[in-house]
Amino acid sequence: MTKKLKVIVTGALGKMGRETLKAVEEDNELILIGAVDVKSNGESVSELTGLAGVDINLEKDLEKILEREKPDVMVDFTNPQAVFNNARITLQKGVACVIGTTGLNEIELKQLDRIARENQTGAAVIPNFAIGAVLMMKFAREAAVYFPDVEIIELHHDQKMDAPSGTAIKTAEMINQTRVSRPPKSIREFEKIPGSRGGDMEQVRIHSVRLPGFIAHQEVIFGGVGQSLKIRHDSIDRVGFMPGVIMVIKKMPQIQGLVYGMDNLM
């Protein structure tokens, strides 16, 4: 019988954290052994998830639970201010990390890669766990060969703290892997309201929308002579992220160092 992977979830009180608790607990190849949230008051995981018989209460101290439970994988859905320190502490203890929190910069990613390799473990930084979103990014990279003029619109709920989204940044990076280099346009644009043309990432404009009622959505718009192409993905329920989360968790024992993007694991 294959040994079950022991998993803890950090940021367990958040919406993604709660869904991850349920998904891990319901998977036959994983075992949920801990849940962490700095806002915790000792809540029962059974009450949070609606799953009976889960004898785990939330805790506040990540380092303490790592030392006591010795998990195989830590899943982080916290916030951009906490994620780097959480991952650093976890990797230094030889525990693999699955990071769904966006906001890590290039320097932090390189540091996490180094720490993971020094401790012979892995870290997966995943901007988007939706399999459809990963396919959207792959299709956009293919289309950019033929349509070099492109802009991205990403739409998220009004509680999302960072902009643009990690998915939009990753999409722009993948587009720039395949499209030919382009000289700057000779047209001098004038923004009547600063920022109205969005952010500019190597000549890919990214526009961020934050409104109640949305979860996670993105549209990649290509323009060509006499035609246009739109590639769109919509996440309409957070449960749609869970197959990707579980897939990445199960791949962690084979990973050393840092992997960025679920496209590199599919």
- Out of 4, 93, 138, 160, pick the active-site residue: 160
Contact yes or no for 114/138 (Cβ under 8 A): no
Q: Which residues contact 227 (CB under 8 A, 6 or more apart)?
A: none
CA 204/CA 175 separation, integer angstroms: 9
Peptide bond into 164 cis (omega under 30): yes
Whether 156 is catalytic: yes
CA 12/CA 23 separation, integer angstroms: 12
CA 83/CA 87 separation, integer angstroms: 6
Contact yes or no for 104/81 (Cβ under 8 A): no
| CA-CA-CA-CA torsion sign (31, 33, 39, 41) | positive
**Whose CA is closest to 152, among 105, 215, 197, 186?**
197
CA 84/CA 59 separation, integer angstroms: 19
- Out of 22, 156, 217, 251, pick the active-site residue: 156
| CA-CA-CA-CA torsion sign (68, 248, 171, 114) | positive
β-pairing, 227-235 vs 96-99, is unpaired
Whether 157 is catalytic: no
Q: Give catalytic residues, as residue numbers.
A: 156, 160
